Structure 1
Amino acid sequence: MLKVGSYAIHRIDAGRFRLDGGAMFGVVPKVLWEKRKPADEKNRIAMATMLVLLDDGRRRILIDTGIGQKNDPKFEAIYAVDHSQFNLMGSLEAHGYSADSITDVILTHLHFDHAGGATRLNGKEQVLPTFPNATYYVQEKQWTWALSPSERDRASFLPENFVPLKEAGQLELLNGEMELFPGVRVIPIHGHTPGQQMVLVEGSNRSFLFAGDLLPTPAHVPLAWIMSYDLHPLTTLEEKKIYLERAASENWLVFFEHDPEIYCATIRKTEREDYRAEEAVTFK
Structure 2
Amino acid sequence: MEARFGLDGGAMFGIIPRPLWERTNPADAQNRIDMACRCLLVEYPDRNVLVDCGIGSKWSQKERGIYNINAQDTALTEALNARGLSPADIDDVILTHLHFDHVGGASEFAGEGDAQRVRATFANARHWVQRRNWAWANGPSARDGGSYRPIDFTFFETQADAPPLELVDGIAEIMPGIEVLPMHGHTFGMQVLKITTAEHTFAYVADLIPTTSHMRDPYVMGYDIQPLVTVEEKRGLLYEASRNDWILIFGHDPSTSFARVELDKRGRPSAVPLDIDF
TM-score range, shorter chain: over 0.9
**How far is the alpha carbon of 1:245 from its aligned partner?**
0.4
Task: Give the alignment partner of residue 236 of structure 1, picking from 218, 226, 230.
Answer: 230
Letter matched to residue 222 of structure 1: R
269-278 or 58-67, which deviates more: 269-278
The equivalent position to 1:275 in structure 2, one of 246, 269, 273, is: 269
Q: Which residue of 2 aligns with 1:187?
A: 181
8 Å Cα contact 2:2/2:72 also seen in 1: no
SS at match of 1:155: helix
Matched, 1:120 2:111: no
Distance 1:148 1:282 in 2: 40
Q: 1:44 aligns with which of 18, 32, 45?
A: 32
Equivalent residue number for residue 249 of structure 2: 255
Q: Mean Cα displacement is larger for which, 204-213 or 85-94?
A: 85-94
Q: TM-score, normalised by structure 2?
A: 0.95
- Structure 2 spans left out of the alignment, 5+ residues: none
Correspondence for 1:72 = 60
The corresponding residue for 1:59 is 47
Distance 1:270 1:57 in 2: 40
1:132 maps to which of 123, 132, 135: 123
Q: Which amino acid in structure 2 is aligned with residue 112 of structure 1?
A: F
Higher relative contact order (CA 8 A, sep 6+): 1
Deviation sequence 1:43-72 (CA, Å, 0-9, x none): 100001011100011110000010001111
TM normalised by structure 1 equals 0.93
Cα RMSD (Å) of the superposition? 1.4
**Does 2:83 correspond to 1:95?**
yes
User: Matches of 1:86 and 1:269 in 2, distance apart?
Assistant: 39
Distance 1:231 1:207 in 2: 29
**Shift in Å, 1:209:** 0.7
Code of the aligned partner of 2:6: R
Aligned residues between the structures = 272
The 3-state SS of whatever aligns with 1:16 is strand
Which amino acid in structure 2 is aligned with residue 32 of structure 1? L
Identical aligned residues as a percent: 41
Whole-angstrom CA distance in 2 between matches of 1:115 and 1:16: 15
Find the partner of 1:174 among 161, 165, 168: 168
Deviates more, 1:260-269 or 1:140-149: 260-269
Counterpart residue number, 1:224: 218
Question: Match of 2:191, as an amino acid?
Answer: Q
Look up the SS of the partner of 1:109 in the other structure.
coil
What amino acid maps onto 2:195 in structure 1? V
Partners of 2:243 and 2:74 in 1: CA distance: 35
Match of 2:135 among 144, 154, 179: 144
For 1:241, the aligned partner's letter is R
Change (3 A) 1:141 1:43: same
What 5-or-longer segments of structure 1 have no aligned partner?
Answer: 1-12
TM-superposed CA distance for 1:85, in Å, is 9.0
